[in-house]
Structure 1
Amino acid sequence: MDKEQQSLMDDGWHMGHAEAEQVLDDLAFYRTLIANVVFIGKKESKDWILVDCGVAHYGKRIIEAAEKRFGSHPPKAIILTHGHFDHIGSAKQIAKQWNVPIYAHPREMPYITGEKTYPIPNSTIGGGLFSLLSPFFPRDPVHLGKWVNPLPEDGTVPHMDDWRIVHTPGHTPGHISLFRDRDRTLISGDAVITVKQESSLAVFVQSQHIHGPPAYFTHDWLEAEKSVKKIARLHPKLILSGHGLPMEGELMQEQLTQLSTNFKDYAIPAHQKKPH
């Protein structure tokens, strides 16, 4: 069996079971192994966008989940929160299938146009199986070619007037979150997540708790802390992150405040903390 045949098998082995989970009437997500993709738009809408594209070999399943929600209408655009392998793995396949543009922050562009490679993950921090495995995660230069474009500098989200881009660097230089002011809904990518991603057990059971970005892939902790504080100042009512289940309510808000206030103690690995 050649690689192309294997890829098709990997893509299609459980077709018919991919379905997005609705969070709001115009917001849903679908989990691709370890990372979420997000659908913004009401059911059957012709005006919707996809946020992130999950891991590789999930393209057909993401498209199937989208078709169950929106029918035959492709998205107006794909927005990337950042370019790590578990968020862009199926991006080129999906963009090609739908013939739609991909957008990312200008500072993320070098990492998704083949110019730069992300730093090697640090397997010694964060604890848990995923931290230990992180050096083996894909990090080869990715080139999304003609499909990818820089996001507008004014912070608007293409085709979604009621959402805005919030630059939340630290996990990566061009990491973004998406925020809707009218109901304070936040799509946070990996700037804050709702599961301890370093732990395979926590990921498996989807234990909910507000955490900082996955430690093994975060290389600028000062910027990551600033981004968490920026998110906390938005006072989100609902967080849909790149990893974990959606969270809302007082407990989420309390945990976000605690993380923002005590970021150095809660999120930054001990040997990377700078002395006061």
Structure 2
Amino acid sequence: MKKEQLHQSKDNKSIPVTSVSSGKGRQVRQDIYYYTDQIVNFILFGKPEDNQWILIDTGMPHSSSVVLSAVKERFGENSKPSAILLTHGHFDHVGGVVDLIKEWNVPVYAHPLEFPYLTGEKSYPAPDPTVEGGLLAKVSFIDPVEPINIKAVLKPLPNDHSVPGMPGWQWIHTPGHSPGHVSFFRDEDKALIAGDAFVTVRQDSLYKVIMQKAEVNGPPRYLTTDWKAAWDSVKKLEALHPEIVVSGHGTAMEGKELTQGLLKLTLEFDTIAIPEHGKYV
């Protein structure tokens, strides 16, 4: 891999918003550890004593140092993953990926429908600041949408829905928030890594994001462009009856709070998640 083949998005920039959870890591299963970078989560999958581990998503723009610090704390000095997995390619999930690839030289896996946004070919649709929602929705016009280019190391997730480096897990296509969005599920303990298919905080409300008020909610409104597909994806995940979820935004949730919240979201998605107005509604 030639490092010059990689490039960050042309509109890459830091976003000045954070939460009370920023800078904190939490282990929710022996091999599932998530870390909050400002307002988004990335996941370190693997037991600390094992040599093999996986990074899922890479945080906000300019976050590679944050990821490396969390990795050092979890796995020790000079540790690197066997691969990076992306739930999707929005700016807050690929913020550190270019620098991390240069540091580690490891493959990155994503759904093929997400490739145009990861190979420099296509920008995401612009965020919708007119959408019904709180302050974060109103200022979403500042969010980066230009593509990154990591074509040199990019690989498609396996056709059999297995997950590289994560035995016993399957990837599930959960579009709506983005065309190639995926979630990861382990049937053995009903653990779900949902990305932004649904989240556990109302992501368009600045107050709720800052305070990390826990509630099952739909995908972030200002960046979701296909609401029918998003609803179908939530139905697909609820049918798995997950017992714990780590989503892209918000705190991990499990038990009755998750079960009841996800069922309510599934049944009332049109009123809970879908905004009353907006250019993608």
The TM-score, its normalising length taken from structure 2, stands at: 0.89
**Distance in 2 between the 1:198 and 1:68 partners?**
31
Structure 1 residue 218 displacement after superposition: 0.2
2:257 to 221, 233, 251: 251
Structure 1 residue 145 displacement after superposition: 3.0
Matched residue SS, 1:234: coil
- How many residues are paired up? 260
Asked if the contact 1:192–1:210 (Cα under 8 Å) also holds between the matched residues in 2, the reply is yes
2:244 to 224, 238, 241: 238
Matched residue SS, 2:126: coil
**Distance in 2 between the 1:53 and 1:228 partners?**
23
Matched residue SS, 1:259: helix
Question: Are the structure 2 counterparts of residues 195 and 18 from structure 1 closer, same or farther at C-alpha, using a change threshold of 3 Å?
Answer: closer
Unaligned runs of 5+ in 1: 1-6, 8-16
Unaligned runs of 5+ in 2: 1-11, 13-21
**Distance in 1 between the 2:259 and 2:24 partners?**
29
Matched residue SS, 2:183: strand
Deviates more, 1:113-122 or 1:176-185: 113-122
Task: State the Cα deviation string for residues 212-240 of structure 1 (Å, max 9, x = none).
Answer: 00000000001000000001001000010
Q: Does 1:34 align with 2:39?
A: yes
**Distance in 2 between the 1:159 and 1:218 partners?**
29
Matched residue SS, 1:161: coil
**Distance in 1 between the 2:140 and 2:154 partners?**
26
Counterpart of 1:67 in structure 2 is 72
Asked if the contact 1:20–1:69 (Cα under 8 Å) also holds between the matched residues in 2, the reply is no
Alignment of 1:45-64 (within 5 A): 45-64=50-69
Bigger proportion of residues as helix: 1
Question: Are the structure 2 counterparts of residues 135 and 208 from structure 1 closer, same or farther at C-alpha, using a change threshold of 3 Å?
Answer: same
- Give the root-mean-square deviation of aligned CA atoms: 1.9
Structure 1 residue 18 displacement after superposition: 5.6
Q: Does 1:131 align with 2:137?
A: yes
Task: State the Cα deviation string for residues 79-110 of structure 1 (Å, max 9, x = none).
Answer: 00000000001101112111111111010011
Q: Does 1:79 align with 2:85?
A: yes
Asked if the contact 1:239–1:247 (Cα under 8 Å) also holds between the matched residues in 2, the reply is yes
**Distance in 2 between the 1:63 and 1:256 partners?**
33
Structure 1 residue 198 displacement after superposition: 0.3
**Distance in 2 between the 1:175 and 1:20 partners?**
24
**Distance in 1 between the 2:137 and 2:129 partners?**
5
1:105 to 111, 117, 124: 111
**Distance in 2 between the 1:189 and 1:126 partners?**
22
Asked if the contact 2:131–2:221 (Cα under 8 Å) also holds between the matched residues in 1, the reply is yes
Higher RCO (Cα < 8 Å, 6 or more apart) = 2
**Distance in 2 between the 1:267 and 1:76 partners?**
36
Structure 1 residue 176 displacement after superposition: 0.3
Q: Does 1:171 align with 2:177?
A: yes
